[in-house]
Amino acid sequence: MLQINRVSKTFDHIQVLKDVTISLGDHEHAALVGSNGSGKTTLFEIIAGKLQPDSGSVVTGSNELIGYLPQNPIAISAETIGEVMLLAVNQINPYASASLSPRDEANALKLLANLGLGYLGLDAALATLSGGEGTRVQLASLLLQRPEILLLDEPTNHLDIPALEWLENFINTYPGIVLLISHDRLFLDRTVTTIYELDEEREGIRKFVGTYSEYTRQLALEKQKAYETWKDQEAEIRRLRAYWHRTAEQARVSERSTKDSSLRRYAKKVAKKGTAKKKRLERYLDSPERLEKPMDKWRININFAEAEHQSQQVLTAQGLSFGYGERLLFENLDLYIQAGQRIALVGANGSGKSTLLKVLIGQLQALSGTCRWGNSVVPGYMPQKQEDLDPDLTPIEQLQAVKGMNLSEVYHFLHYFLLDEDHANLPTSALSFGQRARLLLARLVAQGANFLVLDEPVNHLDIPSREQFEKALEAFNGGMLLVAHDRAFIARTCDTLWVLTSDGIRVDVPDEEWL
C-alpha cells in the first residue's frame, strides 16, 4: 500500500506541488507524467524520504521497503560493484554480512547481465564506470532487494533495447507496487495500467485508468470537447451581442420616428430591456463560468533550416577499425550513406555506437580505414554526454560562438527552446540536464547543418518536447544518422536500421526483427 495525502512543497517561494493525493494498492503499476518542472522528481524524493513535504503525508504498509532509483547516479560508500550489492543485501537482512552469499552473488551477476553489464565482474571498480554504467549498477542493486514499493525515475535512459525489453518483462511480473517516471512512450504502454498527471498549471493531480496511449487519446478528446464548447459559447456571445445592438437600434429609431406617447413609452421599454440584456452579457463575460479559448501549452519550437543541395553520396567509409588498447570495438566496417537516408544505429551497450559516430565526424581517429563526406555536406553533431558544451559559458555565449547574432536575436532564438532570459545568463553548468539538451538542439539548429548526427538526442526531454522534435525531423529534408533507444522515436523518424554487433554491422535490418 502506498498513500500520498495532500502533499505540498515550495522552493524559493515557487510552489512545485500542491495538495497531491495518490493511492496505490498492492501489485498496482502506475506512471507519473507531466512536463519538465511539474514536480515529478520532487514527489519521488518525498515518497522515498529524501525530502520533507511542507504539508501532507506519505503512508505505506508496515515494514514495507521503498526502493528508489534516482534519475542521476548518487554517491555510494562503496568501491566495487560487489560492495554496492552487499550494501543492498545488508539493508534488507536482519544481520549484516561481510560478503555476498553464493545465491546473492549469482542473482547479482544475472541482474547485471540482463541490464547489459555482463562484461563487468563484481570486483569492477566504481571509479572506472561511466555514468550510464553506474546507473545500471544501482538499478541492479535495487532489483536485488526486491522492495515492496519500487520508484523508478527515468530507468530507461541508459538501457539498450534488449535491456529495455528485459526490464519491461521484469516490471510486468513484479509482485509489488511500481511507480515510475519515464519519457519512453512504448515503455509506458507496456508496463503500467494507471497514469497520474502532474500539471504545473493545475492544483493536485489527475488519475487516468489505462495505458499511456489511452491517456493521450483521452486528453485529445478533452481538448476537442473544450474547443467545441468554447466555439458554442462564442457563438452565443455573438448572438446576444447582436440581439442587444439590434434591440437598442430599433428602440432608438421607433422613439425618434413617432410623437405618439404610448409608442414612445413602448420604445423606451424595449430599449430598457436591451440595456438589461447588455448588462447581463457583460456580467457573463466577466464571470468565472466563461471558458477561455483552449490553447496549446508553450512547447519547444524547433525549425531546422532547409537543407541545400547535397551530393548524392553523403558518406563513404571503408575498412574502419577502432578500439581501446587490445579491445577492438569494430573492425573493417564499410558504410555508405545516400542523400536523404534516415538511419537509426542500434546495438548493445558497449558495442561502440557512440564511438563510431565520433570516428565518422572526425572527433576520433580510426585505427585503420578511410571516411569521406560529400563536398556539400555540413554535418551537425549532437553528443550524448553534452561534453561539447563549455560549462563556464552562458547559453548566450554558446550560441554566439557558432552564429553571429546580437543579444536581442539570441534571446528570441533561445525562447523557442524554452530558455528564458534568466537561464540564458547562467553558466551552462548551472542548467539542468534537460535545459542543456535543449541548448544543444538550439546550437545545432543555429549551425545550419544539412546532415544530422545525433547521439541519444531525446535523453532528458519530456514527451511533448520529444514529439515536437519528431515533427521537426519530419519537416527536415536532409538526412540523419542517430543513436537512440526510444523505440517510438526511432519508428517515427527513421526509415533504415543498422545493427552494430561484435561481428560487424548489419544494414537495412527489417523493423520487425529488431524493434
- For 83, the grid coordinates are 560492495
Please say if the pLDDT value at position 45 is more than 60.
yes
Mean pLDDT (whole number) for 114-135:
85
pLDDT of residue 245: 72
Please say if the pLDDT value at position 208 is more than 90.
yes
Sign of the Cα pseudo-torsion (360, 502, 129, 72, in order): positive
Q: What is the pLDDT of residues 418-469, one digit of tens each?
A: 788 888 898 988 887 777 878 888 888 888 788 889 998 887 777 877 887 7
Mean pLDDT (whole number) for 7-30:
88
**Number of C-beta neighbours around residue 151 at 10 A:** 24
Residue 215's pLDDT band (cuts 50, 70, 90): very high
Q: Classify residue 506 as exposed, middle or buried by CB count within 10 Å of its CB (0-12, 13-18, 19+).
A: middle
Q: What is the pLDDT of residues 276-331, one digit of tens each?
A: 666 766 666 666 666 666 655 556 666 666 655 566 889 999 999 998 877 788 88
**Number of C-beta neighbours around residue 100 at 10 A:** 21
Q: What is the dihedral of CA 155, 159, 163, 164, to 10 degrees?
A: 60
CATH class of the domain at 2-219: alpha beta
Q: What is the pLDDT of residues 130-150, one digit of tens each?
A: 767 888 898 999 999 999 999
Listed by start position, the domains of the chain span: 2-219, 230-285, 313-514
pLDDT of residue 91: 85
Mean pLDDT (whole number) for 387-404:
88
Residue 122's pLDDT band (cuts 50, 70, 90): very high
313-514 folds as Rossmann fold (3.40.50)
pLDDT of residue 3: 92
> What are the E-state strand segments in 138-190?
149-153, 177-181
Q: Classify residue 304 as exposed, middle or buried by CB count within 10 Å of its CB (0-12, 13-18, 19+).
A: buried
> ∠ at Cα 506 (500, 507), nearest 5°?
115
Could you give the angle at which helices 261-285 and 212-256 cross, rounded to 10 degrees?
160
